[in-house]
Amino acid sequence: MVEQLPEWAALAPALTLAFTGLALLLVDTIRPEARSNTSMAVTSALGALASLGFTVWFVVAGTGHADTGGAIYLFADAIKVDTMALFFTAIFASVTALVVVAAHDYFHDHESPAEFYSLVMFAATGMSLLAVANSLAIVFVALEMASLPSYALVAFLKRDRGSVEAGLKYFLVGAVSSAIFVFGISLVYAATGSLILGDVAEGIANLDGLTGVAGLGIVMMIGGVAFKTASVPFHFWAPEAYEGAPAPVSAFLSSASKAAGFVVAFRVFTEAFPVGASLSAGIDWVLAFGILAVVTMTLGNFAAVVQPNVKRMLAYSSVGHAGYALIGLAALSAGSAGNSSVMGAAMAHLLVYGFMNTGAFLFVAMAERWGVGRTFEDYAGLAKRAPIACTAMAVFMFSLAGLPPFAGFFSKYFLFMGAIDNGFVWLAAIGAINSVISLYYYSRVVKAMFLDDPSTPTALDTLDVKPTALYAAVVFAAVGTVLLLPGFGPVIETAEAAASALF
């Protein structure tokens, strides 16, 4: 038996991200002349990869797993490290690594890129803290810790009106949502007398006439979660922020930040408000998520259909995918054995989504770097000039649409099957119809790139720029999307094991 690491070491992934961010900030402050875009990008990528390495190691070693002594509680139960936390931290770390690598080329002529890298690292730290939060107080603090750097990141292009406006809107909607969320927490505290998730669950079981207070609090907390996951009706910030923000930031927000919202939702709603106890208390939050899931995926997909701008289309598609992932919460039923499979499938979908959606946004980043324009028409004929990147983009699009043989097909298949097995055929049916609609706008991108001819023969001459790091990030995301196909077995098993620990 090897010597056991101290328990706080279970936070190594989050700590690595935090220290990387601090180190970047430190260098930037003390020796501004020593900083260079490249060294900053490399440092942050290494930090993110180290964090990913820790999570993968811990998952494989079984840290926080029921077989090795169960979840690790730290700081008076305020922190809980279990398989789900590690699983989501892996998503955050992967996306972060892809984004910082891509940012190297995207911000090649920016005057102070160092701030970008440290902000991304701090946001990622906040997200990984969200994944381990076991107290509503920590949840709120971590949520803000993830959100505040995000606002700054969206507005990072200070001289770009769109970027600044998007940042402001994001901040304003975020402020409203945070207010609602923290008010919800206070109501829940008022009704149950605790902030620790496990104790809240006990309080929910004996409400003593405080059902209305607790119910109001829970719905308000749903609002906070909906904001973070960009679900309707808290999604309004998303299309504007994603469109206005620098594309790597859009990738980061739509993949990692969304997953962070889901990890909170999964943890808080299963541990603090168990399905059975909530139902018998008269608080049917499963129904609320069902409504949100249907409205979110429908609205996201229908709006995506009519967008002329690829980035905005991706923004709405990201809203639609939030709807799919919400099925993980909407298809639960009290005491059902299928709960862990459907929630595990939602987690696996978020992991796959992390790769394919980040990749898609990074492709947009590359298009912006090339300067080819933003609409579908501007993408016409790109494949002739950049076949590898366009093939990668086609992989992302088909995987997002859920076509076999890509990983997106399997994750969506397991998600819908889980819903059907749990008795929510209607949810799966609506999800399937929405997937069909989504095929339209995803294939439009592929058609434009591969089949259409450029509007003018010289339209694509700007493609002579070769952004190596962006290329690498896009190709790596594509490889990840493809490799998740044979690797899907372990992923879904880990995700289901993580989910089953919650019920």
Contacts with another protein by CB under 8 A lie at 168-169, 172-173, 176-177, 180, 211-212, 215-216, 219-220, 222-223, 232-234, 236-237, 239-240, 281-285, 287-288, 291-292, 299, 302-307, 437, 440
**Nearest approach, Cβ of residue 93 and another protein (Å):** 31
**Nearest approach, Cβ of residue 119 and another protein (Å):** 23
d(CA 89, CA 128): 5
d(CA 185, CA 217): 6
**Nearest approach, Cβ of residue 279 and another protein (Å):** 9
**Nearest approach, Cβ of residue 438 and another protein (Å):** 11
CB nearer to another protein: pick between 237 and 370: 237
- Least Cα distance to 415 among 353, 359, 475, 335 occurs for 353
**Which residue type occupies 475?**
V
- Least Cα distance to 143 among 265, 62, 228 occurs for 228
CB nearer to another protein: pick between 184 and 454: 184
d(CA 430, CA 58): 37
406 and 399 Cβ atoms separated by less than 8 Å = yes
For the chain, the first-to-last Cα distance in angstroms comes to 31
- What are the tokens at 433? 């119809």
278 and 285 Cβ atoms separated by less than 8 Å = yes
CB nearer to another protein: pick between 26 and 172: 172
17 in helix, strand or coil? helix
**Nearest approach, Cβ of residue 287 and another protein (Å):** 7
CB nearer to another protein: pick between 240 and 271: 240
Cβ within 8 Å of residue 155, ≥6 positions away: 163, 164, 166, 167, 168, 245
CB nearer to another protein: pick between 305 and 485: 305
**Nearest approach, Cβ of residue 238 and another protein (Å):** 10
**Nearest approach, Cβ of residue 234 and another protein (Å):** 6
465 DSSP 8-state letter = -
Dihedral in degrees, nearest 10, Cα atoms 26, 29, 33, 34 = 0
